[in-house]
Structures are given as C-alpha cells and as structure tokens.
Amino acid sequence: MAVTIYIKEGCPFCKALKEDLDKKGVKYEEINVIKNPEYQEMVIKLAKKRAVPVMLKDGKVTVGFGGA
C-alpha cells in the first residue's frame, strides 16, 4: 500500500492526519508543499482546490481530515 501525504506546517488537520496514520501503523511519505513548492500545482490538481492535507493512497485522493 503506497501512501503519500501532502501537508504544510502549522496545519492542525495535517497534524491530526499524521497522528491518525501513526496510531494505525500506516507507513507514509510526507511532502511539505511549502518547503517543496514544486508540488503545489500537482496538489491543487489532485484536490481540485487549494487545500491540505491531501492523501494519495493506492491511487485514491482524499482531501482534508475529518477523523477516523
């Protein structure tokens, strides 16, 4: 299972998503879109808007975090 999360520092929803994945033992690649601005346009295309967190899991895109 390939999981990539796109986040930015100071985002409470990004922090909650990371904590939830860690609690579930899910391994993920984390990409900070502020430190890596080359990913910003791609994330906007995936999310269909300017928002984080964005999770890409097995080709499925999830925008935001509402709890598990």
- Among all chains, which residue has been given the structure tokens 């925008």? 63
Burial of 7 (0-12, 13-18, 19+ CB in 10 A): buried
Query: So what's the architecture of 3-63 in CATH?
Result: 3-Layer(aba) Sandwich (3.40)
Residue 68: the pLDDT is: 46
Q: What is the pTM of this model?
A: 0.90
Residue 59: the pLDDT is: 87
When the pLDDT of each residue in the chain is averaged and rounded to a whole number, the result is 92
Domain boundaries, the chain: 3-63
Report which listed range, 1-10, 30-39, 42-51, is most confident. 30-39
